[in-house]
């Protein structure tokens, strides 16, 4: 397991003074990237060997969020691989206390010269350990949507959305979904967030948020405009905690 300690920064906080969802996801992404650097397989190695780790799906459960200035520990580990997928988990919590955030994620290695996913190379198995998976339901690679939806304002990708891979960063899709819910007055307090990543959005691309409302949940499909086949970039499902789940 790889861990690092930090404090909740002001720039990572939402309006209520607690760690924002965007800040949370960035902390977890930073943790996995720090581990890559720690084992010698960081950004320079990826560039030299023309590969990148891309995220296929997230499942994040938020039981609580620390506040500004609190000391926190973020941890990550991989508990295995299967075919093209690698399984990576995360926890985040106040330092010295049990985690208040659990996350499970599915990743794949993308060959940037071939332009396609490849089998996880043997040298990447350095991340795999026998620490068990976090206590969450199975993480699905597909999020189903059906019925009518309400459309929020289209989003044009700008440079602030991009990361070193020159496409929209994983965390930004989640923030776009949250912003769409706020715009439509459909926001709820996130307890479990699941994300399906389908296509890479690049500079200048337009994403159209389609919001599907369910009991204690909202699903936001970030669709490609005017796609006759219903193509999309990502689907984000946000669930609030029910009384039964709180028990």
Query: Residue 115 belongs to a domain with what CATH number?
Result: 3.10.129.10
61 shares its domain with 9: yes
Q: What is the pLDDT of residues 42-75, one digit of tens each?
A: 999 999 999 999 999 999 999 999 999 999 999 9
Q: What is the mean pLDDT of the chain?
A: 94
CA separation, residue 128 to residues 30, 61, 76, 240 (Å):
18, 22, 11, 32
Question: What whole-number distance in Å separates Cα of residue 193 and Cα of residue 181?
Answer: 14
161 shares its domain with 71: no
pLDDT of residue 125: 92
**Collapsing DSSP states into helix, strand and coil, what is residue 184?**
coil
- Per-residue confidence band for 245, with pLDDT thresholds at 50, 70 and 90: low
Neighbouring residues of 214: CB distance < 8 A, sequence distance ≥ 6: none
194 in any annotated domain: yes
List the domain range (segments joined by +) for residue 213: 150-246
Cβ proximity of 107 and 56 under 8 Å:
yes
116 shares its domain with 229: no
25 shares its domain with 106: yes
77 shares its domain with 183: no
pLDDT of residue 247: 56
213 shares its domain with 154: yes
140 in any annotated domain: no
Residue 109 bridge partners (DSSP): 53, 118
For 75-93, b/e burial (b = at least 16 CB within 10 A) is bbbbbebeebbbbbbbbbb
Give me the number of domains the chain comprises.
2
112 shares its domain with 12: yes
Residue by residue, DSSP assigns 6-72 as EE--GGGB-TTSBBPHHHHHHHHHHHHHHHHHHTT-SHHHHHHTTEEEEEEEEEEEES--PBTT-EE
Q: What is the pLDDT of residues 108-165, one digit of tens each?
A: 999 999 999 999 999 999 999 999 999 999 999 999 998 899 999 999 999 999 988 8
pLDDT at 189 over 70: yes
Question: What whole-number distance in Å separates Cα of residue 200 and Cα of residue 222?
Answer: 11
137 in any annotated domain: no
| Average pLDDT over every residue of 179-194 | 96
143 in any annotated domain: no
- pTM score above 0.85: yes
Question: What whole-number distance in Å separates Cα of residue 157 and Cα of residue 131?
Answer: 38
- Per-residue confidence band for 228, with pLDDT thresholds at 50, 70 and 90: confident
236 in any annotated domain: yes
Cβ proximity of 99 and 93 under 8 Å:
yes
pLDDT at 7 over 60: yes
| Sign of the Cα pseudo-torsion (98, 100, 104, 108, in order) | negative
42 shares its domain with 82: yes
89 shares its domain with 155: no
118 shares its domain with 228: no
CA separation, residue 71 to residues 12, 63, 90, 93, 215 (Å):
13, 17, 17, 9, 35
pLDDT of residue 246: 58
CA separation, residue 28 to residues 138, 168, 218, 236, 243 (Å):
19, 17, 23, 17, 28
169 shares its domain with 219: yes
156 shares its domain with 60: no
Domain-ending residue, one of 94, 127, 160: 127
* 68 vs 247 pLDDT, higher one: 68
């Amino acid at each position: 397991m790889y861990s690092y300690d930090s404090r909740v920064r002001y720039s990572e906080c939402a309006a209520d003074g607690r760690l924002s969802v965007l800040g949370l996801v960035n902390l977890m992404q930073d943790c996995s990237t720090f581990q890559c650097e720690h084992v010698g397989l960081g950004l320079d190695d990826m560039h030299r060997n023309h590969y990148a780790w891309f995220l296929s799906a997230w499942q994040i459960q938020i039981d609580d969020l620390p506040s500004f200035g609190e000391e926190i520990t973020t941890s990550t580990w991989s508990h295995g691989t299967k075919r093209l997928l690698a399984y990576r988990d995360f926890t985040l919590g106040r330092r010295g206390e049990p985690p208040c955030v659990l996350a499970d994620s599915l990743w794949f290695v993308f060959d940037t010269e071939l332009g396609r996913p490849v089998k996880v190379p043997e040298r990447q198995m350095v991340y795999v350990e026998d620490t068990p998976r976090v206590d969450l339901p199975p993480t699905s690679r597909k999020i189903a949507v059906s019925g009518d939806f309400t459309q929020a304002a289209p989003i044009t990708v700008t440079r602030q959305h991009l990361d070193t891979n020159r496409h929209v960063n994983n965390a930004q899709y989640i923030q776009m979904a949250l912003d769409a819910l706020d715009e439509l007055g459909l926001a709820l307090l996130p307890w479990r967030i699941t994300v399906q990543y389908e296509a890479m959005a690049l500079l200048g691309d337009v994403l159209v948020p389609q919001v599907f409302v369910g009991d204690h949940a909202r699903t936001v499909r970030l669709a490609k405009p005017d796609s006759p086949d219903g193509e999309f970039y990502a689907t984000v499902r946000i669930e609030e905690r029910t009384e039964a789940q709180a028990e």
